[in-house]
Chain A
Amino acid sequence: MSKNSEKKVSSKDTLIKVMRFIGRYKILLALSIILAGVSVVLQLYVPILFGQAIDLVIEKGKVDLDGVALYAGKILVLVLISALATWIMNLINNRLAYRTVQDIRAKAIRRIQVLPLSYLDSHSNGDTVQRVIADVDQLSDGLLLGFTQLFSGIVTIFVTLIFMFSKNVLITGMVIVMTPVSFLVAKFIASRSFQMFRKQTETRGSQTALINEMIGNEKVVKAFGYEERASERFREVNEELREYSEKAVFFSSLTNPSTRAVNNVIYALVALVGANRILSGVLTVGDLTVLLSYANQYMKPFNDISSVVTELQNALACAARVFELIEAEPQSREGDAELQDVSGRVDIEHVDFSYVQDKPLIRDFNFHAEPGMKIAIVGPTGCGKTTLINLLMRFYDVKSGSIKIDGQDINDVSRASLRQNFGMVLQETWIKNGTVRENIAFGKPDATDEEIIRAAKEAHSWEFIRRMPRKLDTVLTDESLSQGQKQLLCITRVMLCDPSMLILDEATSSIDTRTEALIQKAFNKLMKGRTSFIVAHRLSTIRDADSILVMKDGSIIEQGDHETLLAKNGFYAELYNSQFKLSA
């Protein structure tokens, strides 16, 4: 019970938030509602006029042609007004819906830029994209359009009832009494088909999983000659799906004919009682026509409203998800100072850090790098290598302790000025959907082609770029390059920027050692006198570092240059030597 009310409050909150968003379009919204009211009332009033016109046409000799003409004129005017109102309302709704969507999306994308990485890392990208795109769409469809539909649906029902009552109380009463029957039938069918839909969804889910696995890894399937077994497994789940789908599709398709049948019965009843009333002299043929056409339309808003309500609930759920993103806590405040003319001294003092509360990862980390040093970080997976880089770039904030660059705490400077001083290449490459040029000049959009080509040559990416059909103008997608080529491209990007400090996190892991050695030379030239941090799995990459930090479980267990560490014969020596043992 309490949980239920809690939920209600939150969906009410969401509604208020949505209203605040639509607030700037208040006038449009009000206008839309007024127009909806006008067009609905007129649309319902027109049949009455038609009925009255029909009453002027009784039989030969009892036809009031002038009266009919008068009614025709009246109807024409009302119809045109109503059509105009609907048209304007549609235009307004369009504008309202799409502008709101744009506003919300703009807000969302801006929030994403300032969200802490801890948020983005803990939410899947697919989920966030869903919030920005699909959920916002659902929100606008459901809330804006649903709202006007709901409104006109309710108006329709009430106005219809009023008009019907004004014609005949008995018949109207009868229609109202019959209404629940239609609902019960619809509800009965819905509950039956819901069961089937659930089973269908479940089966479809496992089928999709199988499709993803098998077709996603078709080459492995081929390598093991698994094709026939795959087909067999697919057949099983496919047949199961056939059974549930047939029923789900069938049951759900019963709603319309069933409610239509109930409606037809109501229609017949209205005709019967109406005829009886006409014979008693309390109703005219025109009135009966009106009542019949109302009886025909009467159920429609009910059906509409029930689907609109579902959609509204759905939309509120989506809105809540969108607001969760928009209202997520932004990253911590940044300092105003700017880092200038960085020499590259880095002091890490007593740093503690953890991703998850109560699960400390880095404890009392201390390290000092003099300007121009090349620092390598090695250690087993999960030891905190990448975390250190997250902290240096201030993707994450330290829990306690401090990181200083040239003596200035990085919390006191702006993130932009901190990051501009670092060139960073990560193992997980990122290629922008665009041309090679756009990708390389990402950090320096005004770079000339000459500069770009020079950087590409140094990073050895020019060899494959040169061979591309349109060279620098080739449009890249994520699939068009091999992992190694992507890494080369990312390195080129940094080469072009000429940063004062460098971070390489497994940046060359997919590049062969020969090319890597060449790139290293280029980096050494580029980074002369500048501090660099290198995380690598491959020990050949880091052998010539000035200082190697061997990390394990969040702290440094060994530190020194290659020779010193080998002489120490500890963890590093063990790692290193296993590399060159020969088989057999």
Chain B
Amino acid sequence: MKKVLSLLKSYRKEAILSPTFKLLESLMDLLTPLVVAAIINKGIVHADFSYVTGCFLFLIFLAVLGLMFSFTAQWFAAKASVGAATDLRQELFDHIQDLSCEKLDTIGTDTLITRMTSDINQVQNGINMTLRLLLRSPFIVFGAMIMAFTIDFRCALIFALAIPVLSVVVYGIMIISIPRFSKVQQSLDKLLGTTRENLTGVRVVRAFCKESDAVAEFDRQSEELTRMNVFVGRLSAVMNPATYALINIATIMLIREGAVRVELGAIAQGDLVALYNYMAQIIVELIKLASLIITINKALACAKRIETVFDVKPGMSYPDKKLSETADDTESDSEVEFRHVSFSYSGSEENAVSDINFSVKKGQTVGIIGGTGSGKSTIVNLIPRFYDATEGEVLVSGRDVKTFPEGDIISRVGMVPQKAVLFEGTIRDNLKWGNENATDEDMWKALEIAQGREVAEGKDKKLDAEVHQGGRNFSGGQKQRLTIARALVRKPEILILDDSASALDFATDLKLRQAIAGLDGDMTVFIVSQRASSVRAADLILVLDDGVVVGQGTHDELLASCEVYQEIYYSQAPEEKNKSGKEVLA
């Protein structure tokens, strides 16, 4: 809420003018019954038709003025609400860009997307409605009552009695039903989840012949939902008839009291008509206000949820630019070094990796191999500082990664993530992610190394070939090759392939590694893989088991000494087991 209010500040003018004009408009509405009373009391009683005509023109004048006021009010309301929502969206987007991976994990992508889209739309709607209506309705209700007091004190007392009673009924029903509405929503979400689950698991459900169980579960939840709906419905079913009865009872009292007052000569017939009209205005506005409060309530809940995202601190701090520039790259012969590094994901008690120690020289290739969930990806994610080590330190070029200014490390690393993701646009757009200034030549070269040349050449428009959202129009293997090229385009000092050749067949995988090894310069390469063949030629192989390095060295060393490595290797190439202990390099 704080955030929304602070953003509204830049639309202060609009946010104040909109309700002001709205009030002016409702003032016109409040004057109307008085004019009608004047028509009856003066025009008709004195049979003065020119007076009536004057009143008529005044009514038209009020209508036109009211229209102008309300147009102005709507314009300012639109400007303020859309403006604040647009700014909010931008700030939230920028804020999300600042969040560390750890924070992103905790919040979750789906949540963030909902906050960015439907929640902000709700807030916009809420602001708009609030500016337009929140003041108007109470103003008319109380205005009508005040007007009534100016006409006749005793009759106005009926207003003073009716308004609180009606408010209690309307808002009482609302207060009881709002929390139940959200329960209904939860129940509906549950039913939706069950339906989706049934569809995604249809093969499994059928393979286990569980169709009737699925139906039974659905029926149970559906029944529950209906029960809740009917219950809430029963509450809201009372609203209309109750308010209708109450307002008419108040009107009956008004007419009876009014008749007495007229008989006493305190008021005229026209005044009674005016009072009657005011009573009618009240109920309309009270009901409008009730539905408005529901909208505002929803918007408030959304604003609160958005606020919690803003409350999440970026989670990673970087040294001042100046400070870090003084600490120049120490000429260290190790490019990447891990010293007693342990890391645990937030919310998890156990370490994902523990006490990792290794050091790589510039230009070397490191293979990381190990079972599912053994911590391979975690290790490479620590290098570009996606996450900060919980213990120990990670060094790049001899410097703790935490001492690099923001963006510095990232620009040195070419990362190919496990999940091959492409973005909507062209192949060129995608490759430019790696380096905005890459030339066509650079791109073709990167594609060549990534074994993706034929992917681009196979398309009519080559580099300008369209990429659909998520890269849907490319196969898994094609996507992987393009993501590898994307990382290569930036000519990184450190290249990380995080199990990113899994969709490539062995022959292509081999060609890829050969091409990378054949590159000029001294790029340090990390290859994470489950395939022994992929890491076999590396200068250093880390064998991970359950977050711990159980062996490091070259293929030959490990084959001689590391039991886990032997198991992995022989499970993939049992023929080799029968040969003599000595490995022959092909």
- How many residues on chain A are close to B (CB under 8 Å)? 148
Closest Cβ of chain B to A368, distance in Å, is: 23
Residues of the A chain whose Cβ atoms lie less than 8 Å from the Cβ of B196: 125, 129
Choose from A219, A497, A512 the contact partner of B101 (Cβ within 8 Å): A219
Question: Judging by beta carbons under 8 Å apart, are B89 and A225 in contact?
Answer: no
Q: From the candidates A54, A209, A258, name the one contacting B276 in the complex (CB within 8 A).
A: A54
Q: Tell me if B86 and A442 are in contact (CB < 8 A).
A: no
Whether, in the assembled complex, B36 has its beta carbon less than 8 Å from a beta carbon of chain A, the answer is: yes
Task: Check A582 against B36 for contact (C-beta < 8 Å).
Answer: no
Complex: A247 Cα to B81 Cα, angstroms: 12
Instruction: Say whether chain B's binding surface is mostly helix, strand, loop, or mixed.
Output: helix
Counting chain B CB atoms within 10 Å of each CB, which of A128, A216, A223, A235 scores highest?
Answer: A223
Greatest chain A CB density within 10 A among B55, B74, B259 is at: B259
Given contacts A109-B198, A578-B505, contact A234 B241 (CB under 8 A): no
Is A83 a contact of B242 with CB atoms below 8 Å?
Answer: yes
Any A CB within 8 A of the CB of B139: no
**Closest residue of A by beta carbon distance from B79:** A246
Is the pair A219, B417 in contact by a Cβ cutoff of 8 Å? yes
- Contact check, A109 vs B215: say whether CB atoms are below 8 A apart: yes
A133–B188 contact, CB under 8 A?
Answer: yes
Q: Contacts of A484 on B, CB cut-off 8 Å?
A: 372-373
Are A57 and B259 closer than 8 Å at their CB atoms?
A: yes
Closest to B192 in A: A133
Which of B43, B79, B277 contacts A275 (CB under 8 A)? B43
CB < 8 Å: which of A72, A238, A285 contacts B269? A285
CA distance A275 to B35 in the complex (A): 12
The residue in chain A whose Cβ has the minimal distance to the Cβ of B262 is A57
Q: Mark A56-76, 1 if CB is under 8 A from B, else 0.
A: 111111010100110110011
Docked-complex contact A101 and B226, CB < 8 angstroms: yes
A546 within 8 A of B: no
| Minimum CB–CB distance for A398 against chain B, Å | 17
A209 partner residues in chain B, CB cutoff 8 A? 424, 469
Q: Which of A71, A125, A422, A433 contacts B207 (CB 8 A)?
A: A422
* Contact flags B170-200 to A (C-beta < 8 A → 1, else 0): 0000000000000000001001111111111
**Contact status A238-B39, CB under 8 Å:** no
Which residue of A is nearest B248, CB measured? Answer: A79
Chain B 344-356, CB-CB to A under 8 Å as 1, else 0, gives 0000001000000
Are A227 and B97 in touch, CB under 8 angstroms? yes
Return chain A residues, CB-CB under 8 Å to B208. Answer: 419, 442-443, 497
Cross-chain contact A54 with B255 (CB below 8 angstroms): yes
Stretch of B150-158, B217-225, B458-466 lying at the A interface: B217-225
Q: Answer whether A109 and B199 are a contact pair too, CB < 8 Å, given A76-B249, A213-B470, A416-B209.
A: no
Residue of chain B at shortest CB distance from A257: B70
The answer to whether A224 touches B533, judged by C-beta atoms less than 8 angstroms apart, is no
Q: Is A132 an interface residue when CB atoms closer than 8 A count as contact?
A: yes
* B residues 338-390 touching A (CB-CB < 8 Å): 350, 370-374, 384, 386
Q: Does B334 contact A (CB under 8 A)?
A: no
State the majority secondary structure of interface residues on A. helix
Please determine whether B192 and A579 come into contact, CB atoms closer than 8 angstroms. Answer: no
Minimum CB–CB distance from B264 to chain A (whole Å) comes to 7
Interchain nearest-CB distance for B458 vs A (Å) = 16
Interface positions, chain A 164-184, Cβ under 8 Å from B, are none
Cα distance, A102 to B55, chains bound together (Å): 57
Given contacts A101-B226, A220-B417, A213 and B252 within 8 Å (CB-CB): no
Q: Does A430 contact B (CB under 8 A)?
A: yes
Q: Does B104 contact A (CB under 8 A)?
A: yes
Q: Which residues of B contact A24 (CB under 8 A)?
A: none
If A442-B208, A517-B571, A582-B536 touch, does A109 touch B128 (CB 8 Å cutoff)?
no
Contact assessment for B234 and A220 in the assembled complex, using a CB-CB cutoff below 8 Å: no
Q: Is the CB of A231 within 8 A of B93?
A: yes
Which residues, 44 to 103 on A, are CB-close (under 8 Å) to B? 46, 50, 53-54, 56-61, 63, 65, 68-69, 71-72, 75-76, 79-80, 82-84, 86-87, 90-91, 94-95, 97-99, 101-102
Determine whether the beta carbon of A218 is less than 8 Å from that of B104: yes
Q: Does B256 contact A (CB under 8 A)?
A: yes
Q: Tell whether, in the assembled complex, residue B417 and residue A581 are in contact, meaning their CB atoms are under 8 Å apart.
A: no
Residue from A227, A242, A247 within 8 A of B86 (CB atoms): A242
Q: Known interface pairs A254-B74, A264-B63. Does A442 touch B204 (Cβ–Cβ under 8 Å)?
A: yes
Residues 228-264 of chain A: 1 if any B CB is under 8 Å from the residue's CB, otherwise 0?
1111001100110110011101100110011011001
Q: Are B82 and A98 in contact (CB under 8 A)?
A: no
Taking A249-B81, A268-B60, A268-B63 as contacts, is the C-beta distance between A580 and B573 under 8 angstroms?
Answer: yes
Listed A/B pairs (25) with beta-carbon separation below 8 Å: A54-B272, A58-B262, A65-B260, A86-B244, A90-B241, A99-B226, A109-B195, A128-B195, A218-B96, A219-B104, A225-B411, A226-B433, A231-B93, A234-B93, A238-B90, A246-B79, A257-B70, A260-B70, A268-B63, A275-B40, A279-B44, A511-B372, A578-B507, A579-B506, A584-B517
Other A-B contacts than A279-B49, A512-B370, 20 sampled, CB-CB below 8 A, are A53-B255, A57-B259, A83-B242, A86-B244, A102-B222, A128-B199, A225-B407, A257-B70, A260-B67, A279-B44, A288-B40, A393-B206, A420-B209, A513-B532, A513-B571, A517-B571, A579-B573, A581-B586, A583-B537, A584-B537
